[in-house]
Chains A and B, each alone.
Chain A
Amino acid sequence: MKKIIVLSLVMLLISSMFVGCATPPEESNSEGSVEEETFSWPEKPLEIVVPFNAGGDTDFHARTYAKYLEPILGEKVLVVNISGANGSAGTIKVRDSEADGYTALFYHDSMLMNKVVGVTDFAHEELEVAAAGIMDNSYILAVNANSPFETLEDLINYAKENPGEVKYASSIGAYTYYVGRQMEVLTDVDFNIVDAGGGTDRNAALLAEKIDTNVNPYGVMKPYIDSGDFRVLAVFADKRSGLFPDVPTAKEQGFNIIAHRAYFLSFPKGTDERIITKVSEAMEQVSKIPEYAEDISTAYCVEPAYMNTADTKAYLDGAMEEFEAASDMILGE
């Protein structure tokens, strides 16, 4: 019996640690809402839902954001992981939450992909989009250092002469699958698109030369690029990255393929417009903090890229249109 009591005490202790984090600092509501008496948001901690487990890129970006948003909003910003259904479980949770401005979702373009693939029947249109904070423009194509391909052209030429031989790794319905299909269509080649798992699985497969190419954000492959195990042939961006300026774009090499994803914050439909504006402005401030930029560039090799509410919506609408038009490609049909 005693032991059980001890155990429950331990559990209580653990839970109180979290409650401890959750307790809002009391002195914070005085500033910010001087001119408007009625608008005093936020008055309690804001919860940001990450639709994946702790430890991934989305979780990292949400938590880093939370850390810098806190002093600006003057309230605690808590990150909650609600995983499942490739991000849809958390998305649905936020959509169905009360529109009081205290629950928000931190997600990226995969929200739209989930609709195209059929995991959900809605995307950003059923949410109140606030703003985007990070644009990941760092999708690169890498090969093993032992590979004969030195440029993107080498690879494409070889693929042209040997249809179905170059193993391009991606999962059907994933964004990189779409990038691969785009490449096939644009250059009129036929890859053998194989499923080799997620980011780290694919790193292993490329290390062991089980696949010929790997497309992923730079940060996912960085350790292997630094060690000289992988060679980067191209970045699928408009212009070269400031963080790895030696890598030429695909466009420079004559293949106009652009890949990117935006991490954005959204609220349940019907959330007060003033809240949306305030969050969006706070996000703009975060994107200008040098320490923030350093944090995200060391961990994932990306730069802050703020887009306001209207721009983010337009970006998402555009992306949705593009994905829907290309749904055959994405679904591998």
Chain B
Amino acid sequence: MLESFAIGAQAILDPISLLIIILGVTLGIVFGAIPGLSATMALALFLPITYRMTPISGIILLISLYIGGISGGLISAILTRIPGTPSSVATCFDGYPMTAKGEGPKALGVGIVYSFIGTIMSTIVLIFLAPWLAKIAIKFGAYEYFSVALFSLTMMAGLSGKSMIKGLISGFMGCIFATIGMDSIGSVQRYTFGSVQLSSGFNILPVLIGLFAISEILITAEKAKYATKLDAVQVDIKGIKGFGFTWKEFIEQKWNMLISGLMGIGIGILPGIGGGVANVMAYGAVKNRSKYPEKFGTGIIDGVVATETSNNAAIGGALVPLLALGIPGDTVTAMLLGGLTIQGIAPGPLMFTQNVDIVYAIFLTMIIGAFSMLFIEFYGLRGFAALLKIPKHYLLPGIFLFCIIGSFGIGNRLFDVWTVLLFGVLGFAFHKVDIPPSPFILGFIIGPIMETNLRRGLMFSQGDYTAFLTEPISAFFLVAAALSITLTVRKNVKNAKKSRLQN
């Protein structure tokens, strides 16, 4: 292993490679931080450029963009309540309330440090356990995916906020909107009304941008109409020391960190489910086991720790099946696969023996990239926090512009821009009737995974539903889902009784 590291080090320890890493991480952070742009888009834009680079330079650029992009999402999530990427949806829950309380820099500091820890944790797992874990991951077939998806969907409860009913409405609307387009099994057109554009359904990114960014802009604009002056949030930048939180707080978060990191890695490894689900699930899990779940959503660091550790941990997780078996876990890893294939390197079971230099260059890039991210964001922290001083009537139109550009950039078609606007209006309507948008996103991501795998599973078993229960891994997650629902219902009933007694 040491020898392999030496080979990897030889490949990337030159000034140009290090420069590429730093540049890649910085650009990634910028893409992640600007609502409307995302890690996925950063990779899509730079992938064609890597075709003309050497394989090593190309892959380290892509990996650096990926690390920076996933982490960068926390900045806009915390400062503006607009998640920069699907991976930071849940970061808004506690990150923004912290900002509202004037603790923005601390929230950023926590997010940055735990992004770093998440990346490093998952890199360690990737280096030592990849071939072994990948073999487990491919054991997950249609039955297992269906059950995992169902289990994730039960996490909606944790995202619902005050009203469970409204959370469920939002979540199921997400599932329903996801059915629009060609169905994944039989290519049947659903709710497309003859429109070819609609036949591929709505892309997750414009939906997310619309629901969170555009609606936020509309909400603020409405407020501005009735207020004489919109005050920028007050932040005390001078008072920040280090990352803004104490060792004591760090020690207190150790279990949250560990659980969130492991969940991120686990979810990242499963092809098809990535950081977008990991952050939400980790948030739900940490909230469930917390001694003070009622404080979640009011601006405590526990929430930020959970989401930022898990979404970055999902990066290393997603690379496990890619590097060990050549199986990409999400859009981003699919692009990495494309980038490698074009260089004449086909990731697959022989990658660890035939392309030692590439594999270890990737490992080292992740480590160096994680440190670069820590430093860049640490020194940028004060600058990011200063963004809050910009009056919103300058900041939000800028964000709006990026949202439009970003959504067009996804597939180079205007349809995605209309999608953003449509979901922006929907998000605004949600706000008016107090429906939380996060369950919508979870439903939108998980719904299709569940449907596809239910139908695939039934094809495999030729219509026999019991197969979902007789396969051990699948059965395990079905039981977990049942437990999760029972516990949530019990808790709600208890709380309802308590509040009735109090009245």
Contact = CB atoms under 8 A, between A and B. Distances in A.
B112 interface: no
Nearest to A57: B341
Interface stretch (B5-13, B100-108, B193-201, B428-436): B193-201
Contacts, number: 174
Contact of B347 (A11, A60, A207, A223): A223
Contacts of B455: 195
A172 B141 CA distance: 19
B219 interface: no
B349 A229 contact: yes
B337 interface: yes
A82 B411 contact: yes
Given A86-B182, A201-B271, A55 B335 contact: yes
A88 B413 CA distance: 12
Given A207-B325, A223-B349, A196 B456 contact: yes
A12 to B, nearest CB: 12
Interface string B308-346: 000000000000010001111001001101110110101
A110 to B, nearest CB: 12
B185 A171 contact: yes
A40 interface: no
Closest 5 CB pairs of A and B: A55-B338, A223-B348, A173-B187, A227-B349, A85-B200
B342 A60 contact: yes
B327 A54 contact: no
Interface in B432-472: 452, 455-456, 459-460, 462
A299 B189 CA distance: 34
A49 B51 CA distance: 17
B165 interface: no
Contacts of A172: 185-187
Contact of A118 (B45, B189, B452): B189
A89 B413 contact: yes
A197 B49 CA distance: 29
Interface stretch (B120-128, B222-230, B387-395): B387-395
A210 B271 CA distance: 15
Contacts of A86: 182, 187, 199-200
Interface stretch (A2-10, A234-242, A260-268): A2-10
A226 interface: yes
Contacts of B187: 86, 117-119, 171-173
Interface residues of B, number: 65
A299 B347 CA distance: 11
Contact of B48 (A79, A224, A299): A79
Contacts of A194: 456, 459-460
A187 interface: no
14 contacts: A1-B390, A4-B390, A14-B27, A18-B45, A55-B337, A60-B342, A63-B48, A81-B411, A89-B415, A167-B460, A197-B456, A203-B327, A223-B326, A224-B326
A192 interface: yes
Contacts of B48: 54, 63, 79
Interface of B: 27, 30, 34, 44-45, 47-49, 51, 138-139, 141-142, 182, 184-187, 189, 196-197, 199-200, 203, 271-272, 321, 325-328, 331, 334-335, 337-339, 341-342, 344, 346-351, 383-384, 386-387, 389-390, 394-395, 398, 411-413, 415, 452, 455-456, 459-460, 462
Contacts of A136: none
Contacts of B387: 3-4
Nearest to A92: B196
Interface in A202-252: 203-205, 207-208, 210, 219, 222-224, 226-227, 229
Nearest to A88: B196
A119 B186 contact: no
A164 B186 CA distance: 19
A89 B186 contact: no
B398 A4 contact: yes
B286 to A, nearest CB: 30
A332 B387 CA distance: 56
A222 B339 CA distance: 17
A84 interface: yes
Contacts of B452: 195
Nearest to B30: A10
Interface string A73-92: 00000011111111011001
Given A10-B30, A195-B456, A3 B200 contact: no
A299 B462 CA distance: 37
B385 to A, nearest CB: 10
Interface residues of A, number: 64
Nearest to A332: B186
Contacts of B49: 17
B459 to A, nearest CB: 4
B341 A60 contact: yes
Contacts of B348: 222-224, 226-227
Nearest to B37: A11
Contacts of A207: 138, 325, 349
Contacts of A2: 383, 386
Contacts of A60: 338, 341-342
A205 B452 CA distance: 15
Given A4-B398, A196-B456, A80 B412 contact: yes
A85 B197 contact: yes
Nearest to B386: A3
A204 B197 contact: no
A205 B141 contact: yes
A84 B200 CA distance: 5
B461 to A, nearest CB: 10
Nearest to A60: B342
B412 A208 contact: no
Contacts of B142: 196, 210
Contacts of A196: 142, 456
B199 A88 contact: yes
A9 B315 CA distance: 29
B445 to A, nearest CB: 16
A222 B412 contact: no
A216 to B, nearest CB: 13
A149 B346 CA distance: 26
A222 B346 contact: yes
A8 B185 CA distance: 43
